[in-house]
Structure 1
Amino acid sequence: MKNTIISFIVFISTIIFISFSLKYLNTISLNLKQNNIKLENNIKENSWEKANKASEEFINQWNKSSKKLALFLNHDELDKINYEITELSYFVKTKDKDECLSRTTKIKFFLKHILELEKINIENVF
């Protein structure tokens, strides 16, 4: 009986952790997506000073949230986003519009991909 109770408590704790982590991931992902769109719009308008500031804000937000995301996400996915953000920052500083837009698109894709990998569905369970 004691083993059953302990197993049940561990199971419930796991479900609660998964729920909170998914909620946190959705919140962070939405915020990053909005900042990425803001940055992309600044780049399209050739507002390089605003784009540089938005890039720095995006990097700061990513650095704060990626440490927590690393607790429950695949590190390879986080590394891909880190790489693209670093590249994006460089291309914003050099005012390379095409490369900047390419990087913002890749970041959008990776954020969406992470969300899809973490969704609770049959495909991800097996």
Structure 2
Amino acid sequence: MKNAIISVIIFFGLLIGIFFLNNSVIDLCDSIKYKTDDMEVILLNEDYDEAYDKAVELLSYLQENDFIASIYTNHQDFDALRHEAVRLCLYISKNDIGEAYSSLHFIKYSAQTIKHLQSVTLGNIF
């Protein structure tokens, strides 16, 4: 009887942990999308200094919030986000706007892909 109770407690603890981790990764991806949308508007207005500040802010945000995402998701996907954020900072600082837009859209698409992979659907389970 004691083993059954311990197993049930571990199971519910696991469910709570997965729920927390899943929501935090989805919130992180939503935040990345909002930050990249803001940065795209700033780049359209050709305010490169503010765009560079936002890119550095995005990079530091990714570095601050990498613990849960690197544990719960495929680390290669999250590492690609961070590497592309570094490239985005470099492209904006050199006023290479074409490459900056490319990096910005890659970051946005990667965040949406990570969010899609973390959503609970039958396709993701089987």
Measured against the shorter chain, the TM-score band is over 0.9
Contact 2:91–2:99 (CA under 8 A) maintained in structure 1 = yes
**Distance apart, 1:68 and its partner CA:** 2.6
Aligned to 2:59: 59
Alignment of 1:27-42 (within 5 A): 27-42=27-42
Distance between the aligned counterparts of 2:91 and 2:113, measured in 1?
A: 23
Q: CA deviation at 1:12?
A: 0.5
Using the TM superposition, give the Cα deviation of residue 70 of structure 1 relative to its aligned residue in structure 2, in angstroms.
1.2
Give me the whole-angstrom Cα distance separating, in 2, the residues matched to 1:46 and 1:11: 53
Secondary structure in structure 1 of the residue aligned to 2:95: coil
Deviation track 1:42-99 (CA, whole Å, cap 9, x = no partner) reads: 1122110110111111111111111231121110111111121111111011011111
CA contact (8 A) 2:52 2:93 kept: yes
**1:1-126 equivalence runs, <5 A:** 1-126=1-126
Distance 1:89 1:103 in 2: 9
Instruction: Return the TM-score normalized by structure 1.
Output: 0.93
Equivalent pair of 1:44/1:97 in contact (CA under 8 Å): no
Alignment root-mean-square deviation, CA: 1.1
Whether the 8 Å CA contact 2:26–2:118 is kept in 1: the answer is: no
Q: Secondary structure at the match of 2:71?
A: coil
> How many residue pairs end up in the alignment?
126
Distance in 1 separating the partners of 2:81 and 2:124 = 21
Give the AA of the match of 1:113. Answer: T
Q: Percent of pairs identical after alignment?
A: 23
Counterpart of 1:123, as a letter, is G
